[in-house]
Every structure is written in structure tokens, then in C-alpha cells.
Structure 1
Amino acid sequence: MSKRSFPWSGFVLAVAACTILATLEIDLVYVGLVLIVWIGSLYLVAARPPEVKEVSSGRAFTRDNMADLFEHSETPVVITERDRVVIANLSARKLLGGHIVGQDVRMALRQPEAIRLLERNAEGGAVVRGLARRTDIWRINRKTLPGELAVIEFVNKTAEADIARAHTDFVANASHELRTPLAAIIGYVETLREDVENLDPKMADKFLGTIQREAKRLQDLVSDLMSLSRIEAEKHDLPEHTLEFAKLAERAAHDAAGGNRSKWLDFEATGEFTIRGDQQQLEQLVRNLVDNGFKYGSPSQPVTVRLHPKGQNRLRMTVTDRGDGIAPEHIPHLTRRFYRTDPGRSRASGGTGLGLAIVKHIVERHRGRLDIDSTLGEGTRVTVTLPLEREEAET
């Protein structure tokens, strides 16, 4: 760092001031001391380096400030000098290990795509897989800096890829589910039209019954898809309305039981439970659970619905059937879209494969919890826990 030029204007001012003091008959010893101190202070100011350094003038300054700048960034960032890691922020050390500082970055990554990017010694990006875990997907971006430095940024693309894959799977599954009833409807309609005049009335009625059943299944599937779409769109919005859940649940449970099944519904609530919720979604939640209980439970055994308080701030609703039960390996997957433990039985009973997926999203929107327990040969119990309105008011 070069020193500043001497401030000659200040020197001239000091000499002029001391000359005036001398003309005022001030002791020349004092005048000389003033001149010496004044000139000395000017020299110190001229010799002192600037407060703010140029970035290009001090490599240590650059590294220290870069380290402070990137240390707590959520994005892993590595800074290299001649391909050797000199700085790795906290996220990068968690991703690649603290030992990477001081290593050749190519040895730290051990990824052919990344190594090719680094060996080109140019700016750009590369997508690598399995950087931390086998299924991870990362985009590595490299930016060169003066002084043979480079900034390497790691952007996690795993969640984005998972969402895209889930979207593709959902479209494929939905297309398959829609195509199945459509194929049945088209097939039976074509059969009816081939020989309308000579077709036996009983056979025609049977065909028309199948068409009606498949059309109803198609209608239910489209309705559930639309419901799921609306619920997912609103899942981050807290419900605003206050309602009494026991009365709502009893009404929805009887609607789901309907007709001949009502005598097998055993409903009991031990009080009134005021919550904040979306009435339409909560009714759908209860209907789906009770309907599942009747579909998959024993036809000669009741489906029980119980509402009880859980602690001071929550309510618990359990829906229990006494059917064949569900094998343990299926339980973690039951809330996935279109997942069925027995596809043939589900379709025969009119199930769309979306009922529990809808229930899960409704519970999540209402900040609740969903638990499913089942024992083979005994039945299944679904438990929904929801916050009471007073808990929401306190928070």
C-alpha cells in the first residue's frame, strides 16, 4: 500500500500561523514547539493507510469477508484457489464433510460430471447425482474470480425432481383410473348398438346397469380429484369459521351410512367440541372414514364412531370397523393417492383410491393428526385428532 502524499497546504498553514504568533511577540520556544507538533501530526496523517482496503489489494481481506458472507447461507458454497478448497461454509461442510477444506475440490466431489466442469477451468454448471445420498440431485455452478479464485455453489434439485416425478405418477395413475370405467362404458354401449332390435331385454338391462355403475364410478373419481385439488390448494390457509364438531360429525356419519347401513352405525360423542374448521371439508372427512368402515368392515358388524376430548385443547375422533384388517406393510402407504391393498375389492365396492388421501390433506389443513391402526382378522381403527377453538385462540 503506497503512502498518501504529504499535505503541503497544511504545512503552509502551520508556518503562517506560527509567523503570526511570532509577530505577536509570543516566546519563540513555544512557537517552535507548536510548529513541530503541527508538522508531526501532518506527517502521521499522511503516513497512515486508508481505513478501507481495496478488495484486489489484500487477499486475506477477500477470504475473511467471503467466509463471513457465505458461512450461514442455506446453500452450500465452496471457494477454491487453484482448485484447492480454501473456504467451505457451514452448509457445504455438512454436505461434503469438514475435511474438504484444504483438499483438491475434484477429490472432494468425486463426481465425473463435476470434475469435467472443474477441469475446463471456466464458468458454467453441471448436474450430478448421489452427491450426499444415492437419490440426491444437485446442480453445481462455478464462477471464476480474480486471483485464481472460484466460487462453487451447490443447488439441491432433489425436491424439484421429486415433485415432477410425483406429478408424472399422478397423471399416469389418474389416466389409468379414468380409462378403466370409460373403456367399460364404451364397450357395453357398442355391444348394445350392434344388435339393438334382437337384444334380450334382460341382457340389455344388465348392460345398462353396468354402464350406470361405471358412469357413477367415473363421476365419483372426477369429484374426488376436484376435491383433492381444492384441498391441496387451500392446505396452507387456516380455516376461519367456528363450528360445533359433534353435530357436524353425527350428521355426516349418518349421511355416509345411508339406507340399510344406518342400523349398523354406532355413534357416540361425550360433549360438544367447538373448533375452527371448513364445514364442507370436515363433513367430507367424516363421510370418507365412515364409508370406508362400511366398505371394508364386516357387513354384520357395526361401524363405531367415538368423539372424546384429548387433554384440555384437543378432540379425538375414532372410526372403527370389524373387518378383515390390513397387513402392517400396507399401513404406511394407505394415504397415497390411488393406493389400494386389494384393487379388485376396492373397485367392486366403488372406491376411487383417493378417500384417505383426501382425509390426510383435510387433517393437515386443520393442523390435526391422522393415525391408522389395524389388526388382521379383527378390524381397523382410524383416529383423527383436531385442535379445539380455544387452543387456536391462545396461540
Structure 2
Amino acid sequence: MTKRSEEKTKTSRRRFLATAAAGATAAVAAPTVVSAQGPINMRWQSTWPSKDIFHEFAIDYAKKINDMTGGDLKIEVLPAGAVVPAFQLLDAVSKGTLDGGHGVMVYHYGKQTALALWGSGPGYAMDANMLLAWHKYGGGKELLDKLYSSIGANIVSFLYGPMPTQPLGWFKKPIAKPDDLKGLKFRTVGISIDVFQNMGAAVNALPGGEIVAAMDRGLLEAAEFNNASSDRALGFPDVSKICMLQSYHQNAEQFEVMFNKDKYNALPEKVRAIIVNATEAASQDMQWKAIDRYSKDYAEMQAKDNVKFYKTPDAVLKRQLEVYDDVVRKKAAENPLFKEIAESQLAFAKRATQWEQDTVVNRRMAFEHYFGPNAKKPI
């Protein structure tokens, strides 16, 4: 190598090292710039009283987002009524009064009846997890976006947290036949309002935090809410000792978290990606926590609160399905988007539930084997 070539090589090496050093400095400095901007703070509200496990689920959800973003996004969740009443959450988030919220879609039933198809009904034999499968992979999300656009909702919606089948409700005496619902002053929400009205009940839609007080004052004679933990925390055993389990009125419901669309779109792309994945993580964790807590409170309401649980008679369940179909036919005739969503669910459910019925073993036999009256100690 000549002396000139040697100098040229050294110069090129110096330039390379200088460029690499500059790049490394920029890489180290970049997070400092982001950190200097401080975290993005969001104020949310749930539709649940602070003592309800549902509000706990909302806080759990926010904590996952906060932790996974490393504090770049900090969500504070207030209980129902802190800023707006529970049934006004959609408007508050859409207008930017709140940055986001945690609730259920049936609370928006008055805005568009088709919103009730996400959980307020029998789900065409799907459970809540299967309905979420339709939502993610069967076209439901796109239909929900279309629905929210049709009512001018300025939100980004995420569904998560499939719920177990909800009880028929709390009553003064056991329900033995469909006619026992006639004339009852009964609380429910969503399309279940129409179903129970058509079964003869006098329905009053109230948010969760107002139900027990209404029953205590005699404004309601019976009511449904959701699960053993929520019902116990809200005080249902103080106003009733009879709970009817199993119902088709809300067989496939899930939670909804919503962001104000402008504020969500303004978030860094990385944070938005974390939100998408954190939502799915929160969904699974919520199911695990629900199984643990609901089963404990179910046992304690029987042992400590003297609550008697009864299975809803098949005649009542069958009548629910018949009435639900009548209501859906009427809504579909009035509302093309309602019809489009119901038809999409039916098509997915026919395939998915056939697979489930053929594939998944009925666990009742195993339950009786291990815990039934003639069970032998397995270990």
C-alpha cells in the first residue's frame, strides 16, 4: 500500500468512527428528550361505584397500561358519578370532557339499539369469549366502528373481559314459571329491557350503584346486575335473600374501554401499540380474577349472608329465547344496521358453536364424579 493510499484509508476510518459516535450519542440522547416531555396524563371515569369489583377491574386495566408504557402514559380512573352519571359516559368521552372510560355497551342503548347486540341477549348460543372472537375475527369490530360513526361518537373503542352468564336476578320469592315475572317492578338494561317488558315486567333501567337503594325503598321489587362479587359488594343480600341463577338475557357480555378519538390518535405510535396488546392481557387477567373472586363470594353469600340460590326453570329460559327473537325481528325491520350486525353474529355463531358443541366435553359428569353426592375421595 502506498503512503497516499494509507492516509486515505485512515481518513475514511476516522469519518466512519465519527459518524458511529454521533449515532450512538443520538441514540442515548433520544430517550432523554422523550422523558423531558413528561408523561401524558389521562383522566378517566368508570360506570361503577368504587366498591364494585368492576371498578377494580377498571383500575387493573389502567395499571397495566401505565406499567407497560413505563409511565409515559398515566391513566387515572374515577368512579361513577365523579364527573358525569354512568349513563352519560359515552357523551363525556366523545366530547373530551373525559379522556376515556370503562363501562359496558348496553349503557349506550338509548343512542343506538344495535349496541345491545354486544352482550345483551343469548349471543346465539355463544358465550362471551366466543362473541369476542366474532368481534375480533368475524367482522364485529368493523361493524362497531360503522355503528359509532353513524351516531357521531368521537371515540376509539376496545372490548375485553368476557363475563360469565349473569343471574336472572334477585327476587322476593323464587321464580317458578314465566308468568311470575308479570307485573314485577324489575331493573335491567339494554335490549333486555324489551325482553322483560314483553314478558310482562315493569322495567326500570338504573346504573349499578342505584339498584339496591331503589329496592330498599320499594321502587323495585326485583333486579339483576351481574355476578356474586358485585352483587354482594353493592348490598343485594341486604334487600333480598333469593337469587335466580342462569339466564339468557345477558349471556355473552363484555367490558368496553373507550378513548376520546382525538386524544388517542395524538398518542405516540408505540403507546397505541401497547394499548392494543395490554387490552388483551387485561382481558385474560380479568377472567382469572373473576373466577377466583366470584366463586369465593358465591360461597360466602350462602354461608354468611343466608342467600338461597335457585336455577332458573327451563320454561323461563325457553320463553326468554322466544321473546328475544321477536324483539330482534322487530328491531331488524326498523334498523338496517341492527339487521346487518345480527346476521353477522348468526353466521359466525352457527360455525363456532357447532365446533364447540362437537368438541368440548360437558364438564358436568366430571363435576359429579369429583364433588357430587356419590363422589369418592380421589386422593
- Scaled by the length of structure 1, what TM-score is found? 0.23
User: Greater Rg, structure 1 or structure 2?
Assistant: 1
Bigger relative contact order, structure 1 or 2 (CA pairs below 8 A, ≥6 apart): 2
- Scaled by the length of structure 2, what TM-score is found? 0.24
